[in-house]
Amino acid sequence: MFHPGETVTHTFTIPFIVSEVSEIVVTYKQNDHIILKKTITSGFEEAGADKTKIVIAFSQQESLLFAEKRPFTIQLNVCTVDGTRCTSKEIKSETGVQHHKEVMTNG
């Protein structure tokens, strides 16, 4: 159970080499409305061959968004340092079902 003042962290693994990652924009939505959006530009860790781990810690105020346990969607938009690859990953909180789409750009 969630308690007031408790902090929330979410950990994600993405299919990129750490040195490739420029930034990750993480968007949380409930009923198609954005409830929180964060741009992460540091703190990336190696998570095995060609994988990167990012841990997102939320402030106590941000953590209150998760207190009611309502379903939400998490969208991760990842861009590479040289701008040649972007990927979008969507995760449903209530089912854990993931949808992944990779986009190649012309740098």
pTM reported for the whole predicted model:
0.75
Domains and CATH numbers, the chain: 9-104 (2.60.40)
- Beta bridge partners of residue 36, listed in sequence order: 28
Q: How confident is the model at residue 5 (pLDDT cuts 50, 70, 90)?
A: low
The DSSP call for residue 107 is -
Confidence (pLDDT) at 6: 65
The per-residue pLDDT for range 46-85, each reduced to its tens digit, is 998 888 898 888 887 787 777 667 788 888 888 888 876 7
Q: Which residues contact 7 (CB under 8 A, 6 or more apart)?
A: 57, 58, 59, 60, 63
Strand, coil or helix: 61: helix
